Amino acid sequence: MEEIFDAAIVGAGPAGLSAACILADRGVKVIVLERGEYPGAKNMFGGVVYGHSLGRIIPDFAQKNCPMERNIVESRISYLSEQSSISLTYRDQAFFEQLQNNAFTVGRAKFDRWFADQARAKGALLVCSTVVTDLLKDGAGRVVGVKTDRAEGDLRARVVLLADGVNSPLAAKTGFRPEVGPQHVALAVKELIGLPEEVIDERFGVSAGNGVTNEILGNVTMEMNGVAFVYTNRRSISVGIGANLADFAKARVRPYEMIERFKTHPAIAPLIKDGKPLEYLAHWLPEGGFETVPKLFGDGFLIAGDSAMLFNAPHREGSNLAMASGRMAAQTVLEALQRGDFSSYGLRGYGERMAESFVLKDLKKYRRFSSLLENHRELFTTLPRGAAEAFREILTVDESPKKERLRGARKALWRGAAPLRLLRLMWDAWRAIR
């Protein structure tokens, strides 16, 4: 290909497609390279997209038939031991009305294809079934394009946006981002369980396209630092579970056995009863936090989304960070095109935009979060049972005086974590989220 593009984007996910939409809208000659047969063929996440972030790219997404599964009206956080669950549930009428589509579930095979169609309608060129295998560089080491696995597949561009996701052999090869260490990613597996729409409605107490997300902690991750989730889609339920990859290696736990075990938990099994498994997927979450975010731009390139390790673990936000970073990368590219400067200096506006935005502010705020979980293993080992037994003590009704019951509850909790350890946990948790 002799043609020179203004911008080449690696990866048709939320980050790359957000950038493609904005650039194409402004008449920029942009190409998106996707290794899957179609956008979404390789993509997987928990399942939640945020309306505000998408609206900044496609303001009328709901009218444009965005393939939404369910509008999230209820969020649950649960803490599970083998036989029990403690949950906090928040449902608010606001999510049916003014905050409708604040968060909604999607399936990536449909959603990413739809998103790519929006970019194409604006004039972006999408080329699927194409792996970017290397970056083209000039004598001075500036990125001037990409190499692909197509015959004569070198492609020149004034600027390259790397939005190729968290698992990036391209990063490992070119070093634009350090290769991740197993301690910096969580490996998650997810199963789609098919059920009739009305059965899901009934089990989760919703109707008319509304749904529920449930984040789950406890010893379901078999003493590893991890998290599980249950999200409702229109006619399926996403059940997922993941843990730090280094923990998986140490614990010698098989991911598919862990999810199978999770599905039989007394709090989970009734939700998916009689469901038909439809698909089984695996993906990483970049949970290393702020410290693992690489330098976001250099001579001739920018990095966005999961590729830049943008993930807010305590709020389970990722797709919005991808879209926002893609948007800010595109805005920076527009400036650079105007000035004709694609050097690191010319692209510095991206770093500034990101630093001033919620994306890096949030990651910075929660920079201690991953070490909180790492340092407080009791959260995944003894505390789930201790907490459950404390509640059991309080709620068991017999004729023993409540003073004794409460003493029993306190002792049960302390079996989960000694008093000083609990204090330490509360202190560290406060520091991690303040």
Partner 1 sequence: MSARVEDKLFLDRFNVDAESHLRLIDPRTCMEKCAEQPCLFICPANVYKLEKERISINYEGCLECGSCRVGCPHFNIEWRFPRGGYGVRHKFG
Q: Can you name the residues that pair with 77 across neighbouring β-strands?
A: 88, 215
Least Å distance, CB 350 to partner 1, is 26
Please give the residues from 343 up to 402 whose contact with partner 1 meets the rule CB under 8 A.
none
Q: Which is nearer to partner 1, 25 or 191 (CB)?
A: 191
Q: Which is nearer to partner 1, 22 or 195 (CB)?
A: 195
Query: Contact between 110 and partner 1 (CB under 8 A)?
Result: yes
d(CA 15, CA 51): 15
Strand positions, DSSP E, 164-306: 185-194, 210-218, 226-232, 236-244, 276-286, 297-298, 301-303
Query: Contact between 260 and partner 1 (CB under 8 A)?
Result: yes
d(CA 328, CA 422): 41
Are 62 and 101 spatial neighbours (Cβ–Cβ below 8 Å)? yes
Strand 4-10 relative to strand 155-162, pairing: parallel
Among 128, 136, 394, 425, binds partner 1 (CB under 8 A): 128
d(CA 431, CA 411): 26
d(CA 378, CA 300): 46
Which residues lie below 8 Å from residue 143, measured CB to CB, with a gap of 6+? 135, 136, 137, 159, 160, 298, 299, 300, 301
Number of residues forming the site for partner 1 (CB under 8 A): 57
**Region binding partner 1 by CB under 8 A among candidate stretches 4-12, 79-87, 126-134, 204-212:** 126-134
Among 167, 174, 331, 344, binds partner 1 (CB under 8 A): 167
Least Å distance, CB 190 to partner 1, is 9
Among 200, 217, 245, 303, binds partner 1 (CB under 8 A): 245
Among 118, 148, 219, 232, binds partner 1 (CB under 8 A): 148
Are 11 and 326 spatial neighbours (Cβ–Cβ below 8 Å)? no
Q: Which two tokens stand for residue 230?
A: 């249950």
Least Å distance, CB 131 to partner 1, is 5
Query: Contact between 187 and partner 1 (CB under 8 A)?
Result: yes
Query: Contact between 191 and partner 1 (CB under 8 A)?
Result: yes
The dihedral region occupied by 237, where left means phi > 0, alpha psi between -120 and 50, and beta the remainder, is beta
> CA nearest 292: which of 369, 187, 373, 178?
178
Please give the residues from 27 up to 86 whose contact with partner 1 meets the rule CB under 8 A.
35-38, 40-44
Q: Which is nearer to partner 1, 106 or 330 (CB)?
A: 106
Least Å distance, CB 257 to partner 1, is 5
The string of DSSP codes covering 121-149 is HTT-EEE-S--EEEEEE-TTS-EEEEEES
Binding flags for partner 1, 402-431, as an x/- string (CB under 8 A):
------------------------------
Among 195, 253, 329, 337, binds partner 1 (CB under 8 A): 253
Query: Contact between 249 and partner 1 (CB under 8 A)?
Result: yes
Which residues lie below 8 Å from residue 338, measured CB to CB, with a gap of 6+? none
Q: Which is nearer to partner 1, 169 or 175 (CB)?
A: 169
Binding flags for partner 1, 264-293, as an x/- string (CB under 8 A):
-------------xxxxxxxx---------
* Type of residue numbered 9: I
Q: Which residues make up the interface to partner 1 (CB under 8 A)?
A: 35-38, 40-44, 107-112, 128-131, 133, 148-150, 167, 169, 172, 179-182, 185, 187, 189, 191-192, 233, 236, 245, 248-249, 252-257, 259-261, 277-284
